[in-house]
Structures are given as C-alpha cells and as structure tokens.
Amino acid sequence: MNQYSTRQYIIAGIFLSVFLIFLVRLFYIQIIDSTYKYSAENNSQRYVTIYPARGLIYDRHHKLLVSNKAAYDLMVNPQELREFDTASFCKILNINKEYVDKTLKKIKDYSKYKSSPFLFQVSDTTYAELQEKLYLFPGFYVQARTLRQYQYPIAAHLFGYVGEVDSSIIKKNNYYQMGDYIGMSGLEKSYEEYLRGVKGVNILLVDVHNRVKGSLQNGKLDRPAILGKNLVSSIDADLQIYGEKLIKNFRGSIVAIEPKTGEILAIVSNPTYNPSLLVGRERTKNFIDLRNDKSNPLFYRAIMSKNPPGSTFKLLNAMIALQTGVAVPSTTIGCYHGYTAGPVHVNCHVHPSPLDMPHSIQHSCNAYYSVLFRKIIDEQKLPRNQAYDVWRKLIMSFGLGQKIHTDIANELGGNIPSSNYYDKIYRKSWNSLTVVSLGIGQGEIGLTPLQLANVACAIANRGYYYVPHVVKQIEGIDTIDQRFLKKNKTLINPEYFDTVIEGMYMAVNGPGGGTATGAAVKGLDICGKTGTAQNPHGEDHSIFIAFAPKDNPKIAISVYIENGGFGATIAVPVASLMIEKYLTDSISRPYYEQYLETKRINYPVK
C-alpha cells in the first residue's frame, strides 16, 4: 500500500472506458449501421460481363454481308496484380517489356480498381497457351469478345467501324464501360443500340486473388447476354460490288435508290478501303495509315461531300418556273452560244435554237436557264428577296440545303444559301443577274450525292420522295423508323414533272441527239440529265442523275465523278451500266466497262 494506490481505480477506469467506447462503436457498425452489410455483398462478388455478338447485316436478298468472329481480349485488374514473371509473360504473348510497363501504367492511371483491357484480340493459339498458364499471372484474365468479319470487301463507309469507347462516351452514356466496343461510324454507329445487343452478367464469388470461388446463388441472379439484332439492309450486294468496281479509278460516288420506297440499293464512295482493315489489333495502325493517305479514303463522299450540282439543277429550275408561273412548257428562248447580259457572259455549246422547255433539258441550254432563273426572281411580282426565298423554299422541298436524315451516321446537309447570305456578301446590292449562275447549278450551292439521288427519286415519283435509308428491317422490331415511311411531297405540282421527264427522256434517247445519249439502253427507257460542274481547282466534275424505266421507275441514281470532265465522259456510262445491271442483271456493253477500267484521271495532290 502506498499513498497513490487509489490511482489504480483511475487507471482501470481509463482502460475500461476505452473498451466501452469500442463496444459502442462496434455496436454501431455491426448492428445499427447497415451500409457495411451492403458493402460486404459488393466485395465478394465479381460481376463478369458477357459480351453479346453484334447483330449481323444482310443485303436486300438476305445475303450475309457482315458477321462476327471470336476473339479474346486479355484483361487486367490492377488491384489484383502481383509480381509475375514478365519474361515468360512477354514470350507467350509475343510482346515486349516496354509494352507491359507502359500499358499497365496507363491502366493504373485510369483506374486502380476496375478491370481494363491489357491486350486486344489475342490469337486462338496464343489464347490456348495463355489459358493454361494464366494462374501464374494473377490479376489477368481472358474476356471472350467478338470481332466484325466482312463477307465482301465492300461498303466500308456504309458499314462503318467499331471501336473502343473512350472516357467521353463513358461519361455520357452509362451503358458503356472501359473496354466496351461501340459503333463509331456508318450503320454501326446509327444502329448501335440494336446491333450491340445487351451485355449480360455472371455474378461470381471471388477472392481478391481473382480466384473464382463459385457462382452466387448458383447463378440465379445471372443475366444472360442478349444477342445484337440483325439488320436487313436494302443494299443489293451485287450492285454495290459492281458500282465499286466501276469507279475504282476515280474519286466520286454512286447512289442508287428505289424511288418507290427510298431504299438505297447501292451507295458507293471512292476512294475506299477494305473494311477488314479496321478490325482487330491492327485497327489503330491501319486507321492512322488511312487517315494519312493523301487520297483521303476515310472521307465518305456519298453523304459528306458537297458540290455544285451543275446542269442537273436545271431540272429543278424548270419546274420552279412552271410552278411560279413565269414560264410554260412551250416558252422558247433563243441561245447565241451563250447568254450575255451586261458584264455577265455564260457560255453554251452548239445546239439548235431557240428551244422550248423539254428541248432545253435535252440539250442542256445554259442561256435558257439563265433567262429562266432571272424570270423566277424578277417576274414573280415580289420583292427580290421574297422572290428568291420562294425559289429557295421550292428547292429545299426536294430535301436540299439541309440534312435529309438518312440512317447512315455523319451525313452532311449541303448548302442552299438564303437571301440574307447574299445581302451580307453583296451588302444588299444584288439582283437576279448577280446570282444568275444558280440557274445552271453553279455558285454557292452544295449538294451531297445522296441529295442528288434523292432529287432523281422525287422526279421519278413525280413529286414525292421517301427519306433514303439503308435498313429495311430490324430483326424482332415491327417497323423501321417512322421517318422512312412518310411520303415527303415536294412543293411542285405533279403535272409539271412530266415536262422535265420528257426532257430527260429525250436527253438520253433523242430524237435529234442529246447530252446523255450514251446512257441509252434499248427497252429500259432511261431518263437522265447530265451535269458538268465547273471547278476552279481543276478539271470539271462529271455528273449524271437518272432513273428508269420512265414509267413506274425501279431505280433512281446519281453519279458524281470529281474531275471527270463532262457529265457524258464518265458519269453517264457508269450510271447506265448500273441501271442495266440492276434492271436486267446483264451487261450489253462490255466496252463501257473496259473504257472505265482503263480510264485514268490525274487528281491534283492536295
């Protein structure tokens, strides 16, 4: 006993109070607070994603175009990584140590806890070897995936390609996680939601060493993956292949549409590439090569290039003149090798003069349409700007100057300038003469080949069109999007179409010659209009729009060949062959094919 012996109680008191505090805390986290119980569930369960195969794509005759092949991605969960034998790891995978270090660092920077792909698309043989030795490399596991496989090396732009999602996509759409694939362009992009299917999940009990200890509740909570939906496209594979062959020497595009439905039969864009290049491990490398290619093969001309339509635009101006009442089909205008007014002179070629409206189309008279366009602006008894805006409204009713909203991703809308635009660039002092080149399809206007083909459709249908689209049917879905089923009426009365169709018929079939006589095929009743768009950067662009047969048309087409010269030079034979191929499934003029095969254009190097 000594004087401080009472302090034993204070010391014991402190000890026991601390234990009491611990017990209160334990009571709280073990009994009152339930968050820890939920956390415990997450902890020991691993959600293993099952990736469904993307939907298949067929052509209009149910011919398989795009399918899938198996691939294995090597995944890594940084948190579960342990020391491993890098040398043998590299040997199995045929990679070097730098790749391992660099990739692991990148993955760790992204997330230390989420699994990320370490190596994409390991080959079958490597996969077999790897699978046996995977236990030596904790943290790594193999994820079965599918890759795109193309039955034909065609329509690369149309199908588009599939790529890995990046962080901006993940942020925007919580369906996607690092390592997921997503359609980046073309149909893969616009039908992503159908094609991708629904990812499934297996819930496994795992320890932190990535060892699977079984399935949670014997798989009762697992969710199977749902396969992507198959698409039946309106593409005619044979026609598409044929089109790509015809213009493989040129820069340009062909768009063929079934006018009655708006279904795209072929949509060719050249230069192009083999779609298989953008699949698999070499995708990134190939993509960079394609991007650096001077001929710009990644550019989807058919829906993204906008060029003046040249003389094909005369068809619209003729109908607008009729619609606005400034001319009648029998209106004749003389041509003296062109049109001259003040400082302006528009050249024309040799043809009979004067001409009425159908014949002006047959011979594509520049003077006729310069006068006619001025009449539209000046004789409507409307102020200049209003008269111009009426013209523009009628033009735009053909789906021009705006996106047409087809189902291929990344389409552009072209350009039909507004009166405000001219007010701005001419400081309001402009008149019909200032913009007279619009009459012959030159100037500030831009149309995509798809829009040009749509004009052909609207004319073939005598006044209406369906939004051109590629997908006819989505497996398991009753109907395609409503916008493709709606009849879009132009603002031109149906009877005015007959005049221009008569002209188009004569341009191809005569009598008395025409600008597109090279397109004529006996019995097919092709109607067409050439165009030659002036190009300040080089040779003119060769253009042709057509449809056939004249009555009850089955195909409407636009051909746009950059620097191809006159419309008749290249575009006419290409379109004619396409129409013949589609309607008769035979070719009567192999010399045209030969001609196109050997024809070369010296493209300026940009």
Partner 1 sequence: MKRAFNVWNNLDWFTVMIYLALVIIGWINIYAAVYSDEHQHIFDFQMRYGKQMIWIMAAIFLAIVALVIDIRIYSFFAYPAYLATILLLIAVIFLGKEVNGARAWFEIGGLRIQPTEFAKTATCLALAKYLSSFEIRIDKVKTMMTILLIIAIPSTFIILQPDVGSLLVFVSFAFVLYREGMPGGFLFFGFLLAFLFVFALIAQPLTVLIVILFIAVVAFFLLNKGTKETLIFIFTLVGLYFLIFIIAKLFHIKLSYYKTLLIASIITGISGLVYQFFRKVPYAFWVAVMMFIAIGFTYSIDFVFNNILESHQKQRVNILLGKESDPRGAEYNVNQSKIAIGSGGFFGKGFLQGTQTKYNFVPEQSTDFIFCTVGEEWGFLGSFIVLALFGLLLVRIIYLSERQRSAFSRIYGYGVASILFFHVFINVGMTIGLLPVIGIPLPFFSYGGSSLWAFTLLLFIFLRLDAGRLELFH
Contact footprint for partner 1 (CB under 8 A): 3-5, 7-8, 10-12, 14-16, 18-19, 21-23, 25-27, 29-31, 33, 35-37, 39-40, 43-44, 79, 112-113, 205-209, 213
The nearest distance, CB 78 to partner 1, in angstroms, is 10
The nearest distance, CB 278 to partner 1, in angstroms, is 35
The nearest distance, CB 282 to partner 1, in angstroms, is 35
**CB-CB neighbours of 300 under 10 Å:** 25
The nearest distance, CB 203 to partner 1, in angstroms, is 13
**Is 113 or 591 the residue whose CB approaches partner 1 more closely?**
113
The nearest distance, CB 30 to partner 1, in angstroms, is 4
| CA–CA separation, 582 and 601 (whole Å) | 27
The nearest distance, CB 118 to partner 1, in angstroms, is 19
**Is 162 or 206 the residue whose CB approaches partner 1 more closely?**
206
**Is 11 or 350 the residue whose CB approaches partner 1 more closely?**
11
**Is 55 or 138 the residue whose CB approaches partner 1 more closely?**
138
350's tokens: 């040799």
**Is 33 or 498 the residue whose CB approaches partner 1 more closely?**
33
**Is 26 or 288 the residue whose CB approaches partner 1 more closely?**
26
Cβ atoms of 551 and 525 within 8 Å: the answer is yes
Torsion region of 3: left, alpha or beta (phi above 0 gives left; psi -120 to 50 gives alpha): alpha
Q: What is the DSSP string of 73-121?
A: EEEE-GGG-----HHHHHHHHT--HHHHHHHHHHHHHH-SSS-EEEEEE
**Is 22 or 110 the residue whose CB approaches partner 1 more closely?**
22
**Is 18 or 144 the residue whose CB approaches partner 1 more closely?**
18
Contacts of 39 (CB under 8 A, 6+ apart): none
Cβ atoms of 466 and 487 within 8 Å: the answer is yes
144 forms beta bridges with: 72
Residue 102 exposure: Cα atoms within 13 Å on the Cβ side: 6
Cβ atoms of 275 and 163 within 8 Å: the answer is no
The nearest distance, CB 133 to partner 1, in angstroms, is 19
3-state secondary structure labels for all residues of 433-493: CCCHHHHHCCCCCEECHHHHHHHHHHHHCCCEECCCECEEEECCCCCCCHHHCCCEECCCC
Q: What is the DSSP string of 351-413?
A: --SSB-HHHHHHHT-HHHHHHHHHHHHHSSSS-HHHHHHHHHHHHHTTT-SS----SSTT---
Contacts of 591 (CB under 8 A, 6+ apart): none
The nearest distance, CB 484 to partner 1, in angstroms, is 48
468's tokens: 């051109």
| CA–CA separation, 357 and 364 (whole Å) | 10
**Is 35 or 602 the residue whose CB approaches partner 1 more closely?**
35
Residue 417: cis peptide before it, omega within 30 degrees of 0: no
**Is 217 or 493 the residue whose CB approaches partner 1 more closely?**
217
